[in-house]
Amino acid sequence: MKKRTRKSNRPQVERQVSSTCHCCATKDAWIENKVLQEQEYRGEMHQIHVNVLTCKHCPAATTTHQQDENALAELRHAHVLWLKDYVAGARKIFGLTVRAFEAKMAISSSTISRISRGEKLVDASTEKLLVQTLSELLTSHAYQTMASQPDVIKNHVATWSSKADIAEYEGIQLAPCG
């Protein structure tokens, strides 16, 4: 992926963290802790461990520029692994080889290979196309599986106790009578 270059001529100054806590006004209050955070990246939630500075005396927390950069790198890495697992799971469901999967996806074989190895982040538009295509194929596959096993569905429906159970399954809202 091409690295972006700055267009501004202004000197870039890193954000400075005050030695005084902004909440309790204690001097030299910061200690570094590793915390588990849930963050969104390209529409998917990921749990990552990040380093933050927390106050010894109150719940205040802040981060340095370097900690922010490290957290973003960790988040991207978590997303790469998620996409790798998503693609591997879809391939397993369909029972496809890598070559057959590449042909079905209409995305270059080198991109699919990079994703399968968890090598690096692919561009957002390619990922969106891949996830949309897989989602449609998985939905289609689920409907085909249900259609090929009507006895299983009929037996499952027979165990429902009321119209409300069936309506809930079909996503229908029942209006109250009376």
Separation of alpha carbons 70 and 169, rounded Å:
44
pLDDT at 168: 53
pTM: 0.69
pLDDT at 41: 93
pLDDT at 160: 46
pLDDT digits (tens, 9 = 90+) for 80-126: 999 999 988 888 888 888 888 888 887 888 898 899 899 889 999 99
pLDDT at 77: 95
Segments in the chain below pLDDT 50: 153-154, 156-163, 166, 169-170, 172-178
Closest-CA residue to 112 (of 94, 95, 134): 134
For domain 30-158, the question of CATH label 1.10.260 is answered with yes
Separation of alpha carbons 71 and 42, rounded Å:
15
CA distances from 62 to 33, 74, 75, 115 (A): 11, 18, 18, 34
Tokens of 82: 């998620």
What is the residue extent of each domain of the chain? 30-158
